[in-house]
Amino acid sequence: MTEHINSSLIYEQPTNVDSSPGFFISFLDQASNGAWSLTLVGLSFGIPFMALQAYNPREAFAAASFNMLVTVILLSVFGVVGSFLYTLAVVMVGLGVVINR
């Protein structure tokens, strides 16, 4: 009976999840084929950038880039981001520093 119920699910049932971060980061990223971590990184850049646009766009870019770098570092603990996002975040922070000189 349980095999019939599990085969009719339209989503993947979580297995080997032992903590909330394990579910909300690792499992959701695996279930979405990596789109979840990209969404988190994109939102961690986009929301501060849009919120700070009224003050100074250059400083908004620098602050949002730094926020993105911190998010990438924190997501790397779960192994869901690669070296490309590290490189992109570091380059963006560097660009933010250069344009604010």
pLDDT in tens, 23-66: 788 888 888 888 999 999 999 999 999 999 999 999 999 999 99
Per the domain annotation, does 1 fall within a domain?
no
d(CA 51, CA 12): 35
pLDDT at 84 over 70: yes
Helix residue ranges, H only, the chain: 2-7, 20-21, 28-31, 35-51, 57-76, 83-99
Which residue segment(s) compose the domain that 44 sits in? 34-101
Between 76 and 6, the more confident residue is 76
Tally of domains in the chain: 1
**Residue 69 falls within a domain, yes or no?**
yes
Residue 91 located in a structural domain: yes
CA distance 56 to 25: 33
